[in-house]
A and B are shown apart, each in its own frame.
Chain A
Amino acid sequence: GDSVTQMEGPVTLSEEAFLTINCTYTATGYPSLFWYVQYPGEGLQLLLKATKADDKGSNKGFEATYRKETTSFHLEKGSVQVSDSAVYFCALALYNFNKFYFGSGTKLNVKP
């Protein structure tokens, strides 16, 4: 079935380190892909998106490229900040975006 798999956390990094959170997917058809972020006590916020192969989504220094050949959508940031500490969710959408599948989430801790 359709699903998203992302790397287990928590991921602990020092400030200004390079971040990669891996995400792979299984889907019928041609999904759109997303990264959401959840800060403590809040709902999810859309971080970035890509709707077709080779698209690169970017926002707030975060980037992810839709790789159809490897069915991946890895999240990267060149230099993380303490304020980036949160849980990150990879997701895919099918059927005109009315059905979303989320990964299990990866908690990121950034230490000063």
Chain B
Amino acid sequence: KAGVTQTPRYLIKTRGQQVTLSCSPISGHRSVSWYQQTPGQGLQFLFEYFSETQRNKGNFPGRFSGRQFSNSRSEMNVSTLELGDSALYLCASSSGLGDYEQYFGPGTRLTVT
């Protein structure tokens, strides 16, 4: 079974730009969660999608948004990038049906200059 894949793995953007990150979950999984990992704040939950609907949301500004497609693939978008958005963005997939094992992808390293 293929694992969770994230593209791109590395990204460099300029302040004010926007960025879209992609996550393909494990086949059969319907839930995708997104996390931001920084040295200062650790791992912070962004949001979770299940069957194309946002089911849970963390405490991030509206510049951070996401969506999920019918094939469970998910995208995360950050608009008007700030220097503080530089982080490793991780996505995790699970069946979403009451189990609790999340499988993480390798992450996308975003650098904002």
Query: Which A residues form the contact surface with B (CB < 8 A)?
Result: 32, 34, 36, 41-46, 49, 51, 89, 93, 95-105
Q: Does B102 contact A (CB under 8 A)?
A: yes
Provide the bound-state CA to CA distance between A88 and B10, in Å.
Answer: 23
Given contacts A42-B106, A49-B100, A93-B100, 10 further A-B contacts (CB under 8 A): A43-B90, A44-B104, A45-B104, A98-B33, A98-B48, A98-B55, A98-B96, A100-B33, A102-B43, A103-B42
Provide the bound-state CA to CA distance between A100 and B100, in Å.
Answer: 9
Interface size of B by CB at 8 A reads 26
Q: Does B45 contact A (CB under 8 A)?
A: yes
Query: Which B residues form the contact surface with A (CB < 8 A)?
Result: 4, 31, 33, 35, 42-45, 48, 50, 55-56, 90, 92, 94, 96, 98-107
User: Is B55 touching A46 in the complex (CB atoms < 8 A)?
Assistant: no
Per DSSP, are chain B's interface residues mostly helix, strand or loop, or mixed? strand
How many pairs, one residue from A and one from B, have CB atoms within 8 Å of each other in the complex? 53
- Between-chain CB contacts (< 8 Å), 15 pairs: A32-B100, A34-B100, A36-B104, A41-B106, A44-B90, A46-B102, A46-B103, A49-B100, A89-B43, A98-B96, A99-B48, A99-B56, A102-B45, A103-B42, A104-B42
Provide the bound-state CA to CA distance between A34 and B43, in Å.
Answer: 14
Q: How far is the CB of B97 from chain A (nearest CB, A)?
A: 9
B4, B90, B100 — most chain A CB neighbours (10 Å): B100
Provide the bound-state CA to CA distance between A46 and B56, in Å.
Answer: 21
Provide the bound-state CA to CA distance between A104 and B41, in Å.
Answer: 7
Q: With A41-B106, A49-B100, A97-B100 known to touch, is A105 a contact of B43 (CB < 8 Å)?
A: yes
